[in-house]
C-alpha cells in the first residue's frame, strides 16, 4: 500500500508499530527521517501518479520523501465495505461517514512521525500558496492529507481531529486526489536536494511575493522574435535589475492582489 524508495536508503529503515496487519506485509518499509505524505483516499491507485515522474519520481526513489496511502474502503462497514451514507436532514449525494474516517485517521496517526498536520482538501479551505508550501516543507515529518469524495466528509471529524481545510482554488472538483498531488508536488520540490539547482526555488514565482520574470533560451532569434539584448549583454547586474523590473511589471498587471501585498510589505 506504499510507494517508497528501495536501494539508496539502506540504513534509514525504521520499524514502526501499526494497527493494520497489511502494513507489516509491505516490501517497502518506512524510511526514518524522510518527509512523508500520508494519503487517506478511496483511490490509492491514483498515487503516485505524476508524482512518480521527473524530479518528484527521482526524489521518491532516492528516499528524500515517501508516500503512504490508506484506502478508505479497507475501513468500510459491512459486507460491501460501505464508507458513506445520506446527508442528515436530507439532500442530494452522499457523505463520508465519521466512524469510517476515524478508523483511517487513527491508523494514519499511529504510524505518523512526530507532529504531522492533517489537511482536508476542500473548496471551503484556505487557498494554497507558496508560503503554505514552505511551511509544510519545513515540517520535516510530513503531512497527512484527507481526500474527500461525494458531498464531502462528516463535519464532526474535522472538528474532533482539528483538521485544517485547504483549497486548490475557487472551483469544485470530484475529489481531493488531484489537489493532494498538486500540494505534494509544490512542497516536495522545496525539500533540500530535490531541485537540481537550489537557486531555482529562489528566483521563481511567489518566492519574494512577485510573479516570475520571462524566460528565454536558444535560438537567439526565432520567427522574427529576438531575446532581449540585456540578457545577452553579460552584465549580471543589469540582468538582475531587468528581471526584477519585469517581475514587478507582470505582477502589477496580472495579479494586482499580489502587487498590493508586495507594496504593503515594502
Predicted confidence (pLDDT) per residue in 2-19, tens digit: 444 444 443 444 434 333
pLDDT digit string (tens) for 110-162?
999 889 999 999 999 999 999 999 999 999 999 999 999 999 999 999 999 99
In the chain, domain spans: 2-188, 205-265
Q: What is the pLDDT of residue 198?
A: 58
- The answer, yes or no, to whether the previous bond of 63 is cis (omega within 30 of 0) is no
Confidence band, pLDDT 50/70/90 cuts, at residue 205: low
Residue 152: name the closest of 86, 75, 95 by CA: 95
Supply the angle between the helices 177-188 and 130-138 in degrees, to the nearest 10.
70
More confident residue, 207 or 132: 132
Overall size of the chain counted in residues: 266
Strand pairing report for 142-147 and 35-41: parallel
CATH topology of domain 205-265: 1.10.1270
Instruction: Give the Cα separation of 172 and 122 in Å (integer).
Output: 8
- Say whether pTM exceeds 0.85: no
Q: What superfamily does domain 2-188 belong to in CATH?
A: SPOUT methyltransferase, trefoil knot domain (3.40.1280.10)
Q: Fold match between 2-188 and 205-265?
A: no
Q: Which residues of 166-198 are buried (b: 16+ CB within 10 A; e: fewer)?
A: bbbeeeeeebbbbbbbbbbbbbbbbbeebbeee
Amino acid at each position: 500500500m506504499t510507494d517508497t524508495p528501495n536501494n539508496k536508503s539502506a540504513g534509514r529503515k525504521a520499524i514502526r508499530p501499526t494497527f493494520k496487519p497489511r502494513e507489516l506485509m509491505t516490501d517497502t518499509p518506512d524510511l526514518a527521517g524522510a518527509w512523508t505524505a500520508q494519503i487517506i483516499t478511496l483511490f490509492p491507485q491514483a498515487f503516485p501518479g505524476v508524482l512518480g515522474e521527473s524530479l518528484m519520481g527521482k526524489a521518491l526513489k532516492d528516499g528524500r520523501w515517501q508516500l503512504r496511502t490508506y484506502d478508505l474502503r479497507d475501513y468500510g462497514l459491512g459486507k460491501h465495505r460501505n464508507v458513506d451514507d445520506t446527508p442528515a436532514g436530507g439532500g442530494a449525494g452522499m457523505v463520508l461517514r465519521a466512524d469510517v474516517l476515524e478508523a483511517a485517521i487513527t491508523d494514519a496517526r499511529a504510524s505518523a512521525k512526530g507532529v504531522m498536520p492533517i489537511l482536508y482538501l476542500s473548496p471551503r479551505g484556505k487557498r494554497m500558496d507558496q508560503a503554505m508550501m514552505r511551511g509544510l516543507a519545513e515540517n520535516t515529518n510530513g503531512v497527512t492529507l484527507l481526500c474527500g469524495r461525494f458531498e464531502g466528509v462528516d463535519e464532526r471529524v474535522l472538528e474532533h481531529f482539528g483538521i485544517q481545510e485547504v483549497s486548490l482554488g475557487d472551483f469544485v472538483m470530484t475529489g481531493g486526489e488531484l489537489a493532494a498531488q498538486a500540494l505534494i508536488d509544490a512542497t516536495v520540490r522545496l525539500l533540500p536536494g530535490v531541485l537540481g539547482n537550489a537557486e531555482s526555488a529562489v528566483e521563481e514565482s511567489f518566492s519574494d511575493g512577485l510573479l516570475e520574470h520571462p524566460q528565454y533560451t536558444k535560438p537567439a532569434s526565432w520567427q522574427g522574435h529576438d531575446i532581449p539584448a540585456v540578457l545577452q549583454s553579460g552584465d549580471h547586474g543589469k540582468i538582475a535589475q531587468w528581471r526584477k523590473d519585469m517581475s514587478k511589471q507582470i505582477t502589477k498587471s496580472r495579479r494586482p492582489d499580489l502587487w498590493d501585498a508586495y507594496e504593503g510589505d515594502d
